[in-house]
């Protein structure tokens, strides 16, 4: 990784520093709110998910699409880097920008389940699976943004991935290997949970590697 790529990665972290801070703080506060009763749990859980989803969408739109729309991409590509190096820097920079609030949100959610006496520890595998899904979901949005050349395509992808969150909540939460243990006193890491996590890991890996194999090989990235 040359110095220009490193600078571009650091640039993403600097440009998105306020979004990172606000999302991490908001997600942690939302998780804390969940400890104060059923209504507070519902409100806090919704706010927690909304913070992470909105952060991912904003990073993809402003980190990729706006750079192309405002023609600043032409300046970046005039630097001594290849299109492949630019795609790599953008992928790493935006992934790190999302990982900071994601880690804060994940840690706060896990701590909530383990430390709150009113929440059964059996919920932990589902929470971890949900966190993994949101990370993979962001990677898919980022992958799409790096490939798409129109806002319409990115908008359609965002709508589909947002709908996928609801499908995950209902479909994965209804799997017997997960549903049967949600109210249990201890977390159960069975084959169903591990299978879901492996699928999420595979989607994450594919979404991060694909731009390096396709978008990075374009002769005209603009």
Return per-residue pLDDT of the chain as tens, 222 residues. 678 778 888 988 999 999 999 999 999 999 999 988 888 999 999 999 999 999 999 998 887 777 666 556 555 666 667 778 888 888 999 999 999 999 999 999 999 999 988 888 999 999 999 999 999 999 999 999 888 777 788 888 889 999 999 999 999 989 999 999 998 889 999 999 999 999 999 999 999 999 888 765 666 555
Residue 150 dihedral angles phi and psi, to the nearest 5°? -135, 150
pLDDT of residue 74: 57
pLDDT of residue 129: 96
pLDDT of residue 73: 56
Q: Are 107 and 171 in contact (CB under 8 A)?
A: no
Residue tagged 């001594």 (tokens): 80
Angle at CA of residue 135, ends 133 and 141, nearest 5°? 100
Number of Cβ within a 10 Å radius of residue 28: 20
Q: Which residues of 123-152 are buried (b: 16+ CB within 10 A; e: fewer)?
A: bbbbbbbbbbbbbbbbbbbbbbbbbbeeee
- Full 3-state SS string of 16-69: CHHHHHHHHHHHHHHHHHCCCCHHHHHHHHHHHHHHHHHHHHHHHHHHHHHHHH
Q: Are 192 and 177 in contact (CB under 8 A)?
A: yes
Q: Are 161 and 137 in contact (CB under 8 A)?
A: yes
Element (H, E) at 111: helix 83-115
Tokens read off for 46: 């919704």
Q: Are 35 and 111 in contact (CB under 8 A)?
A: no
Residue tagged 């994450």 (tokens): 204
- Full 3-state SS string of 123-146: HHHHHHHHHHHHHHHHHHHHHHHH
Residue 209 dihedral angles phi and psi, to the nearest 5°? -85, -35
């Amino acid at each position: 990784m040359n110095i220009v790529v490193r600078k571009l990665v650091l640039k993403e972290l600097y440009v998105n520093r306020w979004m990172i801070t606000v999302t991490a703080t908001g997600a942690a506060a939302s998780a804390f709110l969940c400890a104060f009763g059923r209504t507070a749990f519902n409100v806090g859980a919704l706010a927690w998910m909304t913070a992470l989803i909105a952060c991912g969408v904003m990073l993809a739109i402003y980190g990729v699409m706006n750079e192309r729309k405002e023609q600043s991409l032409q300046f970046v590509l005039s630097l001594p880097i290849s299109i492949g190096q630019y795609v790599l820097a953008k992928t790493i920079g935006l992934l790190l920008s999302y990982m900071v609030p994601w880690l804060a949100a994940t840690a706060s959610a896990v701590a909530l389940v383990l430390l709150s006496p009113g929440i059964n520890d059996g919920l932990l595998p589902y929470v971890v699976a949900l966190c993994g899904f949101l990370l993979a979901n962001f990677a898919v949005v980022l992958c799409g943004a790096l490939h798409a050349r129109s806002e319409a395509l990115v908008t359609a992808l965002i709508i589909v991935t947002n709908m996928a969150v609801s499908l995950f909540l209902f479909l994965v939460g209804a799997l017997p290997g997960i549903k049967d243990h949600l109210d249990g006193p201890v977390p159960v890491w069975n084959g169903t949970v591990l299978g879901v996590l492996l699928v999420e890991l595979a989607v994450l890996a594919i979404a991060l590697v694909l731009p390096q194999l396709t978008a990075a090989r374009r002769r005209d990235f603009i």
